[in-house]
Amino acid sequence: MSGFPARIFGALGCFLALSVALPAQADPFFVKVYGRTYKIDPRYPSDEKNGPKPQDAMKDLPADLARGPAIRPSHEEVLAEVEERLWIASNQLDAKLENAVKSRDRRNAASDTKAAKQDITDSLASGTGPGRTPELQTLYDRYRALNLLARELRRSLDLPVKTPDSGFSRPKLTPEIEASYRSQKFDPYAAYYGFRRVKAAFRSGDVELIARVTDYPLSITGKIRRTLRNRDQVLAAKETILNAAIRDAVAKSTFESVFVRDKGMMVGGGAVWITPDKASFGLGTVNLD
């Protein structure tokens, strides 16, 4: 699903009731989410770097996962919530890794950027070695915990367990929604993934993530009109773009409520427009009216 109903979910709240039972030996353990119980494999996936036991890694899930809503969401909504949190953690980690590598490269001009990034990632996975900082380790641990949880939630829904390239599982769109996008010659699934990325970026409150999902140039409309042409200009306009009214409008939006036309997707009653760029969609306009 594209998002939770506004009456249940706020912009920043995460609404999972979480409890973990730790059995002996290598038996599965269980995570209770919104009163629903999901079985977790105690072994690391073959394509993941080994680290703490999964039941120990799960202890690094965000603390606010313990708060739950008055109305229990569906399994699909639970997965959507976890995948959104995972997308945020993954992209914040990637941005911090890039900054760490740039800092290392300035000290050693001959270093291999890709290899340096991998070295730091390996250190974070093992919890030992060079390149780690408390901030990076915390981000990595949160990412790993959310990733393990998301895999098992996908498994419980008979979905591919590997993290999708888009970051979000393929939704079940109604024929009417598909037709509304195809009539504009848009891929409805590419539009959905673009919507999810933009919504997650606003939810994070992290202007670095806003810059990552922007379809440049970014237009600022309303009483103040500006055109932001690059990442640095977006970062400098943080207070403008991430004002409370815009964030709240985007957070309450759902993919089903989006208005689509040839220009793209109008979200939050026109608070933002998500516009097409070749095969993908990104943030194109922020309206300050």
Q: SS3 sequence, 37-82?
A: EEEECCCCCCCCCCCCCHHHHHHHCCHHHHCCCCCCCCHHHHHHHH
Kindly state the helix (H) or strand (E) to which residue 120 belongs, with its residue range.
Answer: helix 113-126
Q: Please state the rounded mean pLDDT for residues 195-219.
A: 97
Classify strands 280-287 and 214-221 as parallel, antiparallel or unpaired.
Answer: parallel
Q: Sorting pLDDT into bands at 50, 70 and 90, what band is 5?
A: very low
* pLDDT, tens digit (0-9, with 9 covering 90-100), for 115-129: 888 899 999 999 888
- Own/partner pairs, 18-26, CB within 8 angstroms, 24+ separation: 18/61, 18/65, 18/66, 20/55, 20/58, 20/59, 22/55
Does residue 14 surpass a pLDDT of 70?
no
Q: Sorting pLDDT into bands at 50, 70 and 90, what band is 30?
A: confident
Q: What is the pTM of this model?
A: 0.86
Does residue 51 surpass a pLDDT of 90?
no
50 against 18, higher pLDDT: 50
Q: What is the pLDDT of residue 213?
A: 97
Does residue 32 surpass a pLDDT of 80?
no
Q: What is the pLDDT of residue 268?
A: 93
Classify strands 36-40 and 214-221 as parallel, antiparallel or unpaired.
Answer: unpaired
Query: Nearest 5°: CA angle at 103, between 47 and 214?
Result: 70
Question: Which pair of tokens denotes residue 136?
Answer: 């990076």
Fold of 175-287: Nuclear Transport Factor 2; Chain: A, (3.10.450)
Question: Residue 32 half-sphere exposure, CB side, CA atoms within 13 Å?
Answer: 9
Return the closest-CA partner of residue 87 out of 131, 143, 3, 33.
143
Return the closest-CA partner of residue 198 out of 211, 187, 181.
211
Q: What is the pLDDT of residue 131?
A: 82
Q: What is the pLDDT of residue 180?
A: 97
Domain ranges of the chain: 75-156, 175-287
Does residue 169 surpass a pLDDT of 80?
yes
Sole residue written with tokens 């080994």: 50
Question: Which pair of tokens denotes residue 264?
Answer: 């793209």
Q: Sorting pLDDT into bands at 50, 70 and 90, what band is 69?
A: low
Return the closest-CA partner of residue 202 out of 257, 94, 283.
283
Q: Sorting pLDDT into bands at 50, 70 and 90, what band is 31?
A: confident
Residue 78 vs residues 129, 201, 263: alpha-carbon distances, Å? 35, 19, 31
